[in-house]
Structure 1
Amino acid sequence: MAQEGGLALVRKAVEVLDLLAEQGEATAASIAEDLGEPRSSVYRLLSSLQKLQMVESGSGRGAYRLGFHLLSLGTAVVERFDERRFARPVMERLHEQTGETVYLCVRRERQAVCIERLDGRRVQSLALKLGGALPLHAGAASRALLAFDDRAAWTQYLESGPLQRFTPSTPVTGEELLPALEQVRRDGIAVSDQDVTVGVAALGVPILDYLGRVRAALSISGVREAILSDATTALREQLLLAGEEVSRAMGWKAVDGAVADFG
């Protein structure tokens, strides 16, 4: 019973931290209301988290925000990814060449999680922040991760629950999503045309390892006209070459010069 109580307390602490990560700052009263917990319990929990430097006083009266101790923990998590280490210099070059926002994402269950992001100089999309996530059916990086997984995983994903629609262009049914995933496999590149944010488009390519498994996805995002116009063929070429370069650093070898071949 004591173990169950301890787990419940840890779960509540995580819920508080997740809420602060989402909202930026919040008072104990608003946290208690959002989580459906007694205010006294939330106050005690926040006090304990503050002593551990997990949270700190916010800018408003009675407000709290995430503490700096979480920064060191988050940095330790991010730095363990080989994908990030190999991709970072390629991302920096791509960012310098294009001026657009560049992402690196990895899969975690039904989501694509952003583990590196370089903000664009012209527009900074807020749909996928560093450490944030999108479902695998929405966005270019997300669909690149799903498309280059085994096809059986596509069916499992569709059957595991209803898909969230972000805009009228988001593929949320098998009739919409499966052809899109097949297209990604044929082309070696995923195209997101306003299916996460109206007016914003993105391109995504898979990062493969020495076994040919998809390990991550590299993506570039910006205003639709800058990403998908007739004059942006070079942008696709740059991204495809960047994805291949990072994949080679992960030990992948091309088959007949193809960017990816999963048949």
Structure 2
Amino acid sequence: MPAETDTEQKSGGVAAVQRAFAILHAFRAGDTSLTLNELSLRTGMYKSTILRLIATLVQEHCLVRLDDGSYQLGSMLLHWGGLYQTALRLDDHVPAILRRLVQETEEGASFFTREGNLRVCLFRIDSPRSIRDHIRTGDLLPLDRGAAGRVLASFDQTLTPPESFPAQPYIVTVGEREADIAAIAAPVFGTQGSLRGALAISGPAARFSAELIPSMSQALLRAAADLTRRLGGDASPLERPEPPGASFAS
């Protein structure tokens, strides 16, 4: 029996809305449909409560009741997803992420996308330090050199099969694109595992010591995961525990 009580979690929300979203959140990747019993087990709510809420969710096309009595996500969710994707603009999200990353690391932060065999810097926030890596918005750089270029080539499903992606979700390079410059980059994903770009921090190699790279990498991964979630992607590949050793090129 689910452990439902009359006392709702005190999160400032509306109880009925929270319960309705709990039903929608019960669906997981790979689920084609869920029975009433499965919904009850996953949400911890009584079947009677679920049935009252489902009536409205079906009416609003958020759920569909199948002939066998199970329930499937409805077309309204796809409609909302389309509206979200249409309204989504990188410049509403990327600059804020870059500014936070610069504050945390004091190194320059950039966002790159692939243009054929090159990568273009779409957004850039400079380091507050006087000695820094000089990259400008609009710069075209090689795809085969530098951490961001390597990320764009290594995590793009159109170039690399997912089973061949690097074991860890970031790449470090030192002196590869330019002598005495180091960089750390991580992928940013969108819907259906698409690669939206590469988030990178860069600066003088002397400031990317073996002692500092782990903390810098974790700051970068937090930022990449945040941006991935904002762009509708799955951030779980960026939130895995830190494995020993880094993808490193010199």
TM-score normalized by the length of structure 2: 0.55
Contact 1:83 1:216 (8 Å CA) reproduced:
no
Aligned to 1:153, which of 132, 136, 159?
159
Query: RMSD across aligned C-alpha pairs, in angstroms?
Result: 2.4
Flag structure 2 segments of 5+ consecutive residues without an equivalent.
1-86, 241-250
Bigger Rg, structure 1 or 2:
2
Match of 2:167 among 186, 202, 213: 186
State the match for 2:179 in structure 1: 198
Query: Structure 1 regions of 5+ residues with no counterpart?
Result: 1-79, 156-181
**How many Å separate the matches in 2 of 1:228 and 1:138?**
20
Q: Which residue of 1 aligns with 2:238?
A: 259
Give the Cα separation in 1 of the matches to 2:172 and 2:212.
16
* Equivalent position to 1:86, from 84, 87, 93: 93
Alpha carbons of structure 1 residues 154 and 232: separation in structure 2 relative to 1, 3 Å: closer
C-alpha distance in 1, partners of 2:92/2:199?
13
Structure 1 position 132 matched with structure 2 position 146: no
Amino acid at match of 1:153: L
Aligned: 1:110 with 2:117: yes
- Quote the offset at 1:85 in angstroms: 2.4
1:230 partnered with 2:238: no
How far did 1:208 drift?
0.4
CA distance in 1, matches of 2:169, 2:227: 14
TM-score (structure 1 length as normaliser): 0.53
Contact 1:140 1:203 in 2 (8 A): yes
2:101–2:109 contact (8 Å) kept in structure 1: yes
For residues 173 and 196 of structure 2, what CA distance do their matches in structure 1 show?
Answer: 20
Contact 1:84–1:104 (CA under 8 A) maintained in structure 2: no
The 1:130/1:192 distance shift into structure 2, 3 A limit, reads same
The answer to whether residue 221 in structure 2 is matched with residue 213 in structure 1 is no
Give the drift of 1:121: 2.1
Work out the percentage of aligned pairs sharing the same amino acid: 25
Given the alignment of the two structures, is residue 96 of structure 1 paired with residue 73 of structure 2, yes or no? no
**Aligned to 1:230, what secondary structure does the other structure show?**
coil
